[in-house]
Amino acid sequence: MGMWQVIGQTRALSLLKRGLAAGSLAHAYLFVGPAHVGKMVLAVNLAQALNCEAAEPPCGECLSCQKIASGKHADIQTIGLGQGNSTEARPRAEIGIDEIRQLQHSASLPPFEGQYKVFIIDGAELLSTEAANCLLKTLEEPVGKVLFVLLTTNEQLLPATVISRCQRVELLPLAAAEVESALKKNWGVEPQKARLLSRLSHGCLGWAVCAQDDGLLSQRADRLGELIDIIHADYEGRFACAAQLATEFGQNRELVQEKLALWLDWWRDLMLVKVGSTDLITNVDQVATLTEMAKAHSLAQIRNVIENIRVAGAQLRLNANPRLVLEVLMLNLPEVGRKRVKNANVKFENTAERRP
Ligand SMILES: [Zn+2]
């Protein structure tokens, strides 16, 4: 039935297809899943399915489907803080009440050119409290031919009252093999690159598709370079790096979390290489470097680093002092073939004492 573009997500899809076939769709859905897993693609597909003019919706080809795909259909509205190019420095902000009021007004009018009005709220966790309360009223008094689709990467940040008014649909990361084959088949990515991107994407196909153009891959290369520099740096170098990262954190928190995620991948890979499971690693293009580096570290050291990176990430999310968190992380990295800077231990102890 229809040309659904979302890849994988069989459970979510079959739930929506059943609802469509039986005419028993909910008035509001909450799509939950990591960034780039396919929430927006599925929401747009659903809007197409509701407005498609073909016998087997969504056809993807009729005027209605095309307009929706290009964001030009008068009855489909998407609000949010802009869909994420994660490399962009964007200050955190909220979806305000004015946007929700506008959307409510629009929902009160009949469909303009299609059969169904669909309102997609991207990043619903960013709704301000006022906006969420305002939206709640609409969700409590559903109108026919109007569908709300809320997308979120973190439902814990949404009020329980809003969640309870929506039907929850979870989108899970795909298997690496699924991403790899979709990249080759649907996007014509060459095999080696498809393999690397599928691993780096952690099952979020949208990320891999975005990364095709090499921007994200060259950014990754820079970040890997930085990581390897840090591993080989002396304490002075590591302190400098902690300071720089703390400054970056002040400007763009997500960017530092992304770097930590990359470091975590790297050290997990080292662990996998160490225990002989090289076939499971993420950085499949770095086997030689990983193998070499694995020799220089014990399993216990690697485990420690993994734990320390996790703790640092969690502390940063809890608003701990970024400079201190990052210094502790840097100083706890094992030393690799560089001599200790004089008094580094003293510095470290002082840092530890200052921790809250
Ligand atoms: Zn169509």
Over residues 52-95, the pLDDT tens digits come to: 999 999 999 999 999 999 999 999 999 998 744 444 444 548 99
Mean pLDDT, residues 124-153: 93
The reported pLDDT for the residue numbered 105 is 93
First to last CA, the chain: 58
Are 61 and 141 in contact by the 8 Å Cβ rule? The answer is: no
Q: How far is the CA of 192 from the centre of ligand 1 (A)?
A: 35
The reported pLDDT for the residue numbered 219 is 92
Across all residues in the chain, what is the average pLDDT?
Answer: 89
Q: How far is the CA of 50 from the centre of ligand 1 (A)?
A: 9
Q: How far is the CA of 53 from the centre of ligand 1 (A)?
A: 5
Q: How far is the CA of 20 from the centre of ligand 1 (A)?
A: 14
Number of residues that this document lists for the chain: 356
Q: How far is the CA of 65 from the centre of ligand 1 (A)?
A: 4
The phi and psi torsions of 95 (rounded to 5 degrees) equal: -85, 120
Identify which of 169, 121, 145, 151 has the alpha carbon closest to the alpha carbon of residue 50: 145
76-112 b/e with 16+ CB inside 10 Å = b? bbbbbeeebebeeeeeeebbebebbeebeeebeeebe
167 pLDDT exceeds 50?
Answer: yes
pTM of the full structure: 0.83
Q: How far is the CA of 49 from the centre of ligand 1 (A)?
A: 7
The reported pLDDT for the residue numbered 1 is 58
% of the chain residues with pLDDT over 70? 91
Q: How far is the CA of 116 from the centre of ligand 1 (A)?
A: 13
Asked if the bond preceding 111 is cis, omega within 30° of 0, the reply is no
For residue range 105-137, list pLDDT tens digits in order.
999 999 999 999 999 999 999 999 999 999 999
Q: How far is the CA of 60 from the centre of ligand 1 (A)?
A: 5
Q: How far is the CA of 56 from the centre of ligand 1 (A)?
A: 8
Place 329 in a pLDDT band, splitting at 50, 70 and 90. Answer: very high
Q: How far is the CA of 2 from the centre of ligand 1 (A)?
A: 8
Identify which of 23, 86, 125, 33 has the alpha carbon closest to the alpha carbon of residue 253: 86
Q: Read off the amino acid at residue 78.
A: T
The reported pLDDT for the residue numbered 83 is 43
For residue range 269-311, list pLDDT tens digits in order.
999 999 999 999 999 999 999 999 999 999 999 999 999 999 9
Q: How far is the CA of 340 from the centre of ligand 1 (A)?
A: 66
What does the alpha-carbon distance between residue 235 and residue 179 come to, in Å, rounded to a whole number?
40
- Write the DSSP symbol of residue 278: G
Q: In this structure, which residues have their CB less than 5 angstroms from ion ligand 1?
A: 52, 54, 59, 62, 65
Q: How far is the CA of 74 from the centre of ligand 1 (A)?
A: 15
350 pLDDT exceeds 50?
Answer: no
Q: How far is the CA of 76 from the centre of ligand 1 (A)?
A: 14
The reported pLDDT for the residue numbered 337 is 57
For residue range 172-230, list pLDDT tens digits in order.
999 999 999 999 999 999 999 999 999 999 999 999 999 887 788 999 999 999 999 99
Residue 199: Cβ-neighbour burial (10 angstroms; 0-12, 13-18, 19+): buried
List, in order, residues 6 or more apart from 246 with CB less than 8 Å away.
322, 323, 326
